[in-house]
Amino acid sequence: MIRKILRSRFFLGAVLILIQFVLIMAFFIWVSDVIWPLEVLTWGFYALTLLYVINRDEIPEMKMPWLIIMMVLPFVGAFLFLLLSNNKASRKEYQRFEKSARKIANHLNQTENIDKLKELDKDAYMQAKFLYSASRMPVFDKSKTTYYEIGEKFFEGLLAELESAKHYIFMEYFIVQEGVMWDAIHDVLVRKIREGVDIYMMYDDFGCIATLPDNYYKKLNEEGIHCVPCNKFKPILSHIHNNRDHRKITVIDGRVAFTGGINLADEYINAYVKHGHWKDTAVKIEGEAVKNLVALFISLWNMQDVKPLDCDKYLLPINGGDKGQGYVIPFGDSPSPIDTEDVGKTVYMNILNCAKDYVYICTPYLICDRELINAMCIAARKGVDVRLITPHIPDKKAVFTMTRSNYSKLIDAGVRVFEYTPGFIHAKSFVCDDKIAVCGTINLDYRSLVHHFECGAWMYNTESIVDMKYDFINTLDVSQEVSKREARFTFFNRVFAELMKVFSPLL
């Protein structure tokens, strides 16, 4: 096992990055001690960088860790800030995205359903209007949603729809791992290739660094699956590692699509027990709303250095009349400058701010900024029944401690906090007042809310919302409520959690 770790691409990359960091520190120390004119310039560079960080247009939690690093290690901290704080896509990637986005916008230029929502529900109308403005995703009223409360049912539904593919399949996942789940999916894909179905697949290179062999995408390409690793991991000290593709999307023939928290690995369907019972959720979308997920896939595919997909071929009108009730907006969230808004965070904030009766939340991690924590507290103080389910068995102990460090404030405000006792809950969902819900990939942590490519399905009065509500209630039956006494931390745990909170926006 140790030999395998030492030979892994991640370990070798981490060692190379560490060496680069040590060399940079040594260089700055040498400059400051030996070449005094450069020392003067370095101090000027440090002062300007410090002023820029202080006046940067972002939340205080994003500034604080850099200010601390720059106070402790002035020259090195300033240099690392310029090197690592840029969470933006590269210029070439952004240009490729914009070229594709302009064509896609012609197919998604639909506002009539937003006007319908205005007559039905002002809060829902404003949310839909925001999503159209911020992420270019319209709302659809001729779509059906099906909710999957566990990975095993999602897997069964996914295989059935893959078998029915006639023209094309798009797949985009953060983690893919060889095993029961992926092997079964892979077998279907290989057969579909023989039937003439076009298959395009993306997986996040860093997300799969420990789950797939090196250059696995080349094997898939040889089999006829058009595959590209998203944001390929490079062993250099750079901001490029920040923008991971955390989305989970499957689209089949433009008529049906899946999204949610479930990756293509065996723990997600409990074929492999990793952290107790794994509770995860997903939603299937049928009808016109599938267009949004097609657009998200094509946009990110065309950002890669590959032959671009023609959106005119895939964003075609869908025939079939009314497929379901309510309104659906599959939407994406991307790092700056692709999205200038924190789309996922704003969607969650709007739900909390507009709630009248209840908001039920599932999240595996609770490491977000004060705005979101305060929004939960304010909703609870207004009399809204705010309940939160997090894991009882952690996947990462440090992250688990940071999650628990937020319990006390929430409980004091009236939020009821529960932990899923059978194991790990990986679902990312909000359901509110029997009428609005979100199921997707967006965790309540800085990685999801700021750095990653994410997606979700916003729903209003759809079939799935009641199912999501009762799944949450049923999950409470196997969860334990955290009391105020249990939420208290020892002195050393509190110090550790508070220290980790300071640097969590960079992790």
SS (H, E, C) 33-48: HHCHHHHHHHHHHHHH
**pLDDT of 28:** 65
| CA dist., res. 311 & res. 299, Å (int) | 9
492 pLDDT more than 80: no
- What sign for the dihedral angle of Cα 259, 263, 266, 272? negative
Question: Is 80 exceeded by the pLDDT of residue 281?
Answer: yes
8 pLDDT band (50/70/90 cuts)?
low
Q: Mind listing the domains of the chain with CATH numbers?
A: 2-84 (no CATH), 91-329 (3.30.870.10), 343-506 (3.30.870.10)
Residue with tokens 């990975």: 151
**Spacing of C-alpha 56 from chain mean position:** 24
Strand 436-440 vs strand 277-279: parallel, antiparallel, or unpaired? unpaired
Cα separation of 487 and 29, whole Å?
Answer: 44
Q: How confident is the model at residue 55 (pLDDT cuts 50, 70, 90)?
A: confident
Query: 65-69, 162-166, 180-184, 357-361 — which is least confidently predicted?
Result: 65-69
Distance CA 452, CA 455 (A): 10
Q: How confident is the model at residue 1 (pLDDT cuts 50, 70, 90)?
A: very low
Instruction: Provide the residue type at 157 as one letter.
Output: G
The closest of 291, 293, 381 to 331, measured between CA atoms, is 293
Q: What is the pLDDT of residue 489?
A: 80
- Residue 345's contacts (CB-CB under 8 Å, 6 or more residues apart) are 368, 369, 371, 372, 449
Listed range (419-433, 441-455, 462-476, 484-498) with the worst mean pLDDT: 484-498
Which among 145, 174, 134, 133 is positioned nearest to 431, based on CA atoms?
A: 145
Mean pLDDT of 254-275: 96
| 65 preceded by a cis bond (ω within 30 of 0) | no
Q: Which residues contact 63 (CB under 8 A, 6 or more apart)?
A: 53, 54, 56
User: Could you give the angle at which helices 9-34 and 36-55 cross, rounded to 10 degrees?
Assistant: 120
Percent of all residues in the chain with a pLDDT value above 90, rounded to a whole number: 56
pLDDT of residue 90: 62
Summarize pLDDT for 203-262 with one digit per residue, the tens. 999 889 889 988 899 999 999 999 999 887 766 665 566 788 999 999 999 999 999 999
- Bridge-partner residues for 361, per DSSP? 388, 430
Question: Which residue in 323, 330, 331, 351 sits closest to 435, CA to CA?
Answer: 351
Is the pLDDT reported for residue 78 higher than 50? yes
> What is the spatial distance between Cα 379 and Cα 430, in angstroms, rounded to a whole number?
14
pLDDT of residue 317: 77
Of the listed ranges 130-134, 191-195, 375-379, 497-501, the least confidently predicted one is: 497-501
Q: Which of 22-36, 303-317, 324-338, 435-449 has the lowest mean pLDDT?
A: 22-36
Residue 86 has what pLDDT?
59
CA dist 497 and 501 (Å) reads 6
Distance CA 390, CA 394 (A): 9
Q: Find the angle CA(160)-CA(161)-CA(166) to the nearest 5 degrees.
A: 125
**What is the predicted pLDDT for the residue at 243?**
80
Residue 196 vs residue 502, higher pLDDT: 196
Tokens of 25: 């520190």
Predicted confidence (pLDDT) at residue 352 exceeds the cutoff of 70: yes
* Enclosing H/E stretch for 251: strand 249-252
Q: Up-side HSE of residue 385: CA atoms within 13 Å toward CB?
A: 9
Most confident by average pLDDT, 6-20, 299-313, 417-431: 417-431
Lowest-confidence pick of 294-308, 429-443, 459-473? 294-308
Q: E strands along 341-401, which residues?
A: 358-362, 366-367, 385-391
Mean pLDDT confidence for 309-315: 89
DSSP state of 308: P
Contacts 24+ apart (CB under 8 A), 10-13: 10/209, 10/210, 10/233, 12/235, 13/233, 13/234, 13/235
**DSSP codes joined into one string, 50-107:** HHHHHH-SS-HHHHHHHHHHHHHSHHHHHHHHHHH---SPPHHHHHHHHHHHHHHHHH
Integer Cα distance of 77 and 358 in angstroms: 44
pLDDT computed for residue 322 by the predictor: 62
Secondary structure letter of residue 504 according to DSSP? G
- Per-residue pLDDT, 267: 96
Q: Dihedral, CA atoms, 135, 138, 143, 148, nearest 10 degrees?
A: 20
Percent of the chain with pLDDT over 70: 87
| Structure-model confidence comparison of residues 143 and 2, the more confident one | 143
pLDDT band, residue 343 (cuts 50/70/90): very high
- Binned at pLDDT 50, 70 and 90, residue 491 comes out as confident
Identify the residue whose tokens are 């319990």: 407
Q: Report, as an integer, the average pLDDT of 254-282.
A: 96
Of the pLDDT bands very low, low, confident and very high (cuts 50, 70, 90), residue 379 is very high
Up-side HSE of residue 489: CA atoms within 13 Å toward CB?
18
**Which residue matches tokens 């027990």?**
273
Q: Which residues contact 266 (CB under 8 A, 6 or more apart)?
A: 177, 179, 180, 181, 272
pLDDT at 6 over 60: no
